[in-house]
């Protein structure tokens, strides 16, 4: 098996408090997609070019959604950025093993 991840010398515990998530899309896309994951439908947010997206309220909404998704994580998983690719948000095992075979 070939792994695309560099070899890790130990099992790492993922903590969303320790990972800086660098999402490369717009905050509109981020909040819309996180909201969909949380609710199962797209909420009617302001238009993407609305000035609301430049406010702290939009950022707070993204943080609230990440927190809610973290709270909904199945046992043994956490929601956040991948430990080696923090722009990839999702549910990840609390302990990741990387094979170098």
Sign of the C-alpha dihedral computed for residues 35, 46, 86 and 64 taken in this order: negative
Over residues 35-72, the pLDDT tens digits come to 988 888 999 999 999 999 989 999 899 899 989 998 98
3-class SS at 79?
strand
Sign of the C-alpha dihedral computed for residues 47, 49, 61 and 26 taken in this order: positive
Task: Using pLDDT thresholds of 50, 70 and 90, give the confidence band for residue 99.
Answer: very low
The confidence score (pLDDT) of residue 14 equals 41
The confidence score (pLDDT) of residue 24 equals 65
Residues sharing a CB contact under 8 Å with residue 73, sequence separation 6 or more, in sequence order: 79, 91
Radius of gyration of the chain (CA): 16
Beta strand 12-13 with 95-96: parallel, antiparallel or unpaired? antiparallel
Task: Using pLDDT thresholds of 50, 70 and 90, give the confidence band for residue 97.
Answer: low
Q: Which of 6, 3, 2 is nearest to 84 (CA)?
A: 6
């Amino acid at each position: 098996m070939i792994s695309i991840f560099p070899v890790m010398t130990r099992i790492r515990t993922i903590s969303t408090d320790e990972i800086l998530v660098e999402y490369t899309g717009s905050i509109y896309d981020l909040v819309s997609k996180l909201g969909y994951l949380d609710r199962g439908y797209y909420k009617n947010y302001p238009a993407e070019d609305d000035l609301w997206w430049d406010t702290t309220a939009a950022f707070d909404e993204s943080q609230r959604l990440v927190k809610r998704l973290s709270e909904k994580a199945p046992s043994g998983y956490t929601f956040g950025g991948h430990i080696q690719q923090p722009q990839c948000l999702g549910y990840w095992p609390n302990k990741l093993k990387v094979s170098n075979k």
